[in-house]
Amino acid sequence: MSNYHIKQFEEYFQVYRKSIRNPEQFWEEIAEEHFVWRKKWTNVLSWDFKKPEIKWFEDAKLNITENCLDRHLRAQGDKTAIIFEPNSPDEEAQHISYRQLHEKVCRFANVLKENGIGKGDRVCIYLPMIPELAISVLACARIGAIHSVVFAGFSATALSTRINDSDCNMVITSDGSYRGAKTIDLKGIVDDALEECDCVDTVLVAKRINTDINMKDGRDKWLQPLLDEAYHDCVPEIMDAEDPLFILYTSGSTGKPKGMVHTTAGYMVYTAYTFKNVFQYREQDVYWCTADIGWITGHSYIVYGPLANGATTLMYEGVPSYPDFGRFWQIIEKHKVNQFYTAPTAIRALAKQGVELVEKYDLSSLKVLGSVGEPINEEAWHWYNDNVGKRKSPIIDSWWQTETGGIMITPIPYVTPTKPTYATLPFIGIQPAIMDENGDELKGNQVEGRLCIKYPWPSIARTIWGNHQRYKDTYFSVFENMYFTGDGALRDEVGYYRITGRVDDVIIVSGHNLGTAPIEDAINEHQAVAESAIVGFPHDVKGNALYGYITLKDSGESRNHDNLRKEINQLITDRIGPIAKLDKIQFTVGLPKTRSGKIMRRILRKIACNETDQLGDTSTLLNPEVVEEIISNVV
């Protein structure tokens, strides 16, 4: 029995039990048999959730790109590693073989070195979904530089905050990007961001949309001529198992974004192993994940996990709606996609368009359908199952987080019987716990509470860049000796898990993780605003949308409220990005507060969700009268 590829339900239980009984031995075997090491570890795992400190495969030496590229060259150098499908269906797709990808990564790595980047330096990547994005990520890993990819939908302010937080020396961007029928001036955004950053010496610019852009002398360089001149091979930097591989920012309930730090060996082992099993990837398959590499899903399941398995991974530059809402299905037909991994918000948006567009295309290549990023509602699940999978491709509803690095709770297709809206069972090696509010574990089935993980897994983030205390406070201090996920979950009568949603002030909008605090900070910058509070409310496509309660400094002010709403959303777009715009804005005379002055978001959430019969006792508030006023003026 190979523990690397699970094919039957009974086998899942056997391997799961083994992975729990002796995690060190289990992961050691997986690591030993399926990866290339320059030096073996001296110790598989040491951990202490109190400090917290977690180390996997201590003292081992490796380079992740040797595992993702070099080792495939001999047996399958001509196999397609990346299929690039451009924004426009009129532009030809590119097929980049493992050999070509290896060369491109090596050239890029040499360009990085020639521009002063070395091991441990931070490089910010702000690119659209073009091959240079995957290549630059791998080029950083080749030389041991730490990549920090920032999703190219974030604003200049959001970008500069992230560049400064991790003190990046270089930014890699493009002259612009295509997004459906629109083009976006990415380089202009980078220029604005860099007004606020002193740490960046070099900006490498890929050409994509061929517009005239401003190139700052001594700082900005066109990428292509440098790549053309660079040497085609690059000896990989030998990294320690626990050397940081990348930083990826995620929202917190308060304060600035958290730069989650992932390290090399454990991340590689876990993303590769989950990829193989969760997608049941077979050698000739074409796999497509629709996420952007700017999010963790793209890091783990477009780049590292698939490439470590020698898979063919498709990168799509555009949006689901361009040139029409049949684009995803057209791509599946065109490239004969076997595994398709997307987000519930995309499924809901496409379901709205009716089934005609799906039926137009031949989707018979599909074997596995994936869902990630937010809870998938029953209706979307069935639509996906009936119309895309034709009831023959299992849906894997995979729960995980930026912090977990890889998929944590998920069915294994053709192995685990699925159940709509349930992420089902923990993946191999994962030990979930459901906790009550007093910090006690709820054992047995048919329980609901807060989701924690009891034991480390190889790809858990090791710290928050520059703020280990915050890492400890956020994830390891709420429940003793446990990693706290921030999510609620229930376990049903057979032990299946269902994720019920965030239990903190993070709101998932269209699968994007948004913290309320930075949005409120942006709103409060408006000179007319005194105070604000953001909550989520259900939305039929986005899952959740944002509802803002805003108190103006001068409540009797005669300003046009519609204009104010526009200005406020513009501010949010400028400070964070369009993904954080508010769907509803209600101007209020005050916000409900506790006697200690804390805003009662729970009450505001109930009002926004139209559940005013469940407000509970409001009489102990500092200002109970505002609740009535807010209810009578809901938008």
Nearer to ligand PRX, 388 or 508 (CB): 508
Interface contacts to ligand PRX, rule CB under 6 A: 250, 295-297, 372-375, 397-402, 423, 485-487, 499, 502, 508, 513
Nearer to ligand PRX, 226 or 541 (CB): 541
Nearest distance, CB of residue 432 and ligand PRX, angstroms: 13
Whole-angstrom Cα distance, residue 161 to residue 429?
36
Structure tokens at 124: 């910010």
Nearest distance, CB of residue 489 and ligand PRX, angstroms: 9
Nearer to ligand PRX, 144 or 429 (CB): 429
Nearer to ligand PRX, 160 or 402 (CB): 402
Nearer to ligand PRX, 402 or 516 (CB): 402
Structure tokens at 152: 């190219």
Q: How far is CA 45 from CA 23, 25, 238, 266, 485, in A?
A: 9, 10, 20, 10, 21
Structure tokens at 31: 């690591």
For residues 328 and 290, the answer to whether their CB atoms sit within 8 Å is yes
DSSP state for residue 377 in the 8-state scheme: P
Nearest distance, CB of residue 295 and ligand PRX, angstroms: 6
| 3-state SS record for 180-234 | CCEEECHHHHHHHHHCCCCCCCEEEEECCCCCCCCCCCCCEEEHHHHHHHCCCCC
Nearest distance, CB of residue 560 and ligand PRX, angstroms: 36
Instruction: Name residue 607's amino acid.
Output: I
Nearest distance, CB of residue 510 and ligand PRX, angstroms: 11
Nearer to ligand PRX, 97 or 510 (CB): 510
Structure tokens at 203: 């900006």
DSSP codes, 110-179 = HHHHHTT--TT-EEEE---SSHHHHHHHHHHHHHTPEEEE--TTS-HHHHHHHHHHTT-SEEEEES-EEE
Nearer to ligand PRX, 236 or 375 (CB): 375
Whole-angstrom Cα distance, residue 306 to residue 282?
11
Structure tokens at 340: 């398709």
Q: Which residues have a Cβ under 8 Å from the Cβ of 573 and sit 6 or more positions away?
A: 155, 580, 581
Structure tokens at 479: 């429940």
Residues 129-154 as b/e (b if ≥16 CB within 10 A, e otherwise) read bbbbbbbbbbbbbbbbbbbbbbbbbb
Nearest distance, CB of residue 216 and ligand PRX, angstroms: 33
**DSSP E strand stretches across 373-505:** 395-398, 432-435, 447-453, 463-464, 483-491, 497-502
Nearer to ligand PRX, 269 or 423 (CB): 423
Instruction: Name residue 9's amino acid.
Output: F
Nearer to ligand PRX, 257 or 486 (CB): 486
**DSSP E strand stretches across 456-578:** 463-464, 483-491, 497-502, 506-509, 512-515, 529-539, 543-552
Whole-angstrom Cα distance, residue 82 to residue 289?
12
Nearer to ligand PRX, 223 or 508 (CB): 508
Nearer to ligand PRX, 220 or 487 (CB): 487
Nearest distance, CB of residue 297 and ligand PRX, angstroms: 5
Nearer to ligand PRX, 220 or 374 (CB): 374
Nearest distance, CB of residue 392 and ligand PRX, angstroms: 21
Nearest residue relative to ligand PRX (C-beta): 402
Is residue 52 reached through a cis peptide bond, with omega within 30 degrees of 0 on the bond before it?
A: yes
Whole-angstrom Cα distance, residue 324 to residue 36?
44
